Amino acid sequence: MTVVDKNIPWLASYRRNPAAKLRLFCFPYAGGAALIYSNWFKSLPPQVEVCPIQLPGRGSRVLEKLFTRMEPLVEAVARELRPLLDKPFAFFGHSMGAAISFEVARLLRREGAALPVHLFVSGRSAPQLHKPQRHAYKLPEAELIEELRRLKGTPAEVLEHPELMQVVLPLVRADFEVIQTYTAAAEPPLDIPLTAFGGLMDDDVSREDLEAWRAQTTRAFSLRMLPGDHFYLTTNQQLLLPLLSQELYRHRHVS
């Protein structure tokens, strides 16, 4: 059995679970870090090993070069994850993380590699909708800060701290550029179950936007809407994680 290195740069807040039968790789939203998934292991089935993805530019990787385009980012993620795909695995991604996880799954398929047993996408419109993107990454600093305030994903104490914002803004710009210049290529739907999650009060991603993910799978599809806005997954983990556990229990690896 492969022993996962706890210090692998692309995994953070990772707790090795030798008894696990399935790995759940969790991808962060734009500007987010692996830390948002650090406590999920406490609420998910014991057979699941939670693997929070740490992208460059955050945490211990703060000095690493930031990605600004989806394709090279996806290729780098897939390359780093390949040694960890020696047991069944699933993907969960929120917002930008949903697009990354979806594209990593498609890249693995093109390579003839093992695919996730389940794809969980959250807070992100289906890729085929090609919704117009506001290029917020080009905004002047003051306007970009106001955009972050509108999105409600950055704590007020960070927004009001000039020194912290000088660290946060380059990361946010790069992540926004990744997702706001991304266009999904036309490919056949994935042959894996897909679950979409969303916030009932999300002003940017509607139920219809999430329902459209149904077209990206030939297998079972489900949609779960939860109270909260775009960042419902931080304010309503107590509702999200039992639903995620319920979906994972459907797989023989976790039963």
Give CA angle at 30 (44, 160), nearest 5°: 105
The residue whose two tokens read 């697009």 is 99
Distance CA 249, CA 66 (A): 36
Specify whether the CB–CB gap between 43 and 242 falls below 8 A. Answer: yes
- Yes or no: say if 81 and 104 are a contact pair by the CB < 8 Å rule: yes
Return d(Cα 117, Cα 214) in angstroms, integer.
16
Are 47 and 157 within 8 A, CB to CB? no
> Which pairs with CB-CB distance under 8 Å and at least 24 residues apart come from 164-168?
167/62, 168/31
Active-site residue, selected from the candidate residues 95, 101, 122, 125: 95
- Catalytic annotation on 101? no
Which residue bears the tokens 């000095």? Answer: 63
By annotation, the residues acting in catalysis are 95
